[in-house]
């Protein structure tokens, strides 16, 4: 069951404590939307597709699905929670998960 806290947009305090650190790791605010995005580049398509597969499995378990674009070894991910029409804790959790895949 999805926690209600995940269905509300981040308040100003949360934006300072959980969003701001992500912005220092390459995530950026999406122009004209309450969303974040990041570009990833991999060695080849196989590595990029593997990353997308792991993110897709996590996202499906969270019932939260990214907007993304892939060409060969590049992936652009945009995160925003449609249920609350803005950034939520779900987006932060999925963004952090994406970044942990790159570090491993």
CATH at 32: 3.30.1360.20
**Is there a domain that residue 34 lies in?**
yes
Closest among 35, 31, 32 to 15, alpha carbons compared:
35
Q: Under DSSP, is residue 31 helix (H, G, I), strand (E, B) or coil?
A: coil
**Is there a domain that residue 3 lies in?**
no
pTM of the full predicted structure?
0.88
Strands of the chain (E only): list them: 28-29, 36-41, 67-71, 74-79
Q: Report how many domains make up the chain.
A: 1
**Is there a domain that residue 2 lies in?**
no
Q: What is the pLDDT of residues 47-76, one digit of tens each?
A: 999 999 999 999 999 988 899 999 999 999
**Is there a domain that residue 4 lies in?**
no
**Is there a domain that residue 54 lies in?**
yes
- Structural domain harbouring 76: 9-103
**Is there a domain that residue 24 lies in?**
yes
**Residue segments in the chain with a per-residue pLDDT below the cut of 50:** 1-2, 4-6
Residue 38, CB-side half-sphere exposure with 13 Å CA sphere:
19
């Amino acid at each position: 069951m999805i926690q209600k806290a995940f269905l509300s947009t981040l308040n100003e305090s949360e934006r300072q404590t959980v969003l701001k650190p992500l912005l220092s790791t390459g995530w950026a605010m999406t122009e004209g939307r309450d969303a974040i995005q990041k570009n990833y580049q991999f060695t080849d398509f196989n590595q990029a597709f593997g990353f997308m597969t792991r993110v897709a499995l996590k996202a499906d378990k969270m019932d939260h699905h990214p907007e993304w674009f892939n060409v060969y070894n590049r992936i652009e991910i945009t995160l925003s929670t449609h249920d609350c029409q803005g950034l939520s804790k779900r987006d932060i959790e999925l963004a952090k998960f994406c970044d942990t895949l790159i570090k491993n």
